[in-house]
Homo-oligomer: A and B are copies of this chain.
């Protein structure tokens, strides 16, 4: 059993829920009942329940009590790997090939480019991530020079723009989209794909508060790449 009292209380409650003894909608014992049961103070019980609330297992309603939450929409924590780290952890050597890098105005037709640019210029970077000299992923990135003026003076031929941004620019929000697509002729060529053209496309836009920072599209050959997502109701 766990070491501290509030963790013990939490895990006892959690067991009831996960075993199905306390189904969704079930009213768990009131704080004062748990206080009596465990002979502890209300704050301790409160702490235990609060952590189950933040884990999404319990919802609380004043005056009414605390209830087992309805099963949530399936969700999972997706690890989006740092490409360089992932390659090196497999014992391969990472290298980067800068394909193009130019400063330009947003394309008028593209709504999202204008939003990202916020009245200023964009930095468009295209590069290829290589593992042991073989193509691993194709990156197309747009950076707002309004949000990140420093980027204008960085030459991204050594450090990939993603890593540089992560190290220098704090961000508050990111949205990812994951699709499967067939690589275009040119993309297949760059990624050295022959017959199998299925690729995993990961697009991400990153915000700092209301401000758009960057937008990236990463193309991974389907055969060589997995995303792993993991879900457990509570940490540990």
Given contacts A172-B233, A175-B228, contact A77 B78 (CB under 8 A): yes
Check B71 against A80 for contact (C-beta < 8 Å): no
Select from chain B the residue with minimum beta-carbon distance to A79.
B75
A175 in contact with B229 given A77-B75, A82-B74, A182-B197 (CB within 8 Å): yes
Cβ of A208 within 8 Å of any chain B Cβ, yes or no, is yes
Inter-chain contact B198/A199, CB cutoff 8 Å? yes
Which listed segment binds B: A12-20, A94-102, A115-123, A134-142? A12-20
Restricting to A71-130, which residues have a CB under 8 Å from any CB of B? 71, 73-82, 85
Within 8 Å by CB of A77, from B76, B222, B235, lies B76
Q: Residue A230 at the B interface, CB < 8 A?
A: yes
Q: Does A225 contact B (CB under 8 A)?
A: yes
A36: chain B residues within 8 A (beta carbon): none
Q: Top 8 nearest A-B pairs by Cβ distance?
A: A180-B222, A198-B198, A74-B80, A180-B180, A180-B200, A176-B229, A78-B78, A178-B227
Interface residues of A (CB under 8 A from B): 17-20, 51, 54, 71, 73-82, 85, 166-167, 169-182, 196-201, 208-209, 220, 222-223, 225-233, 235
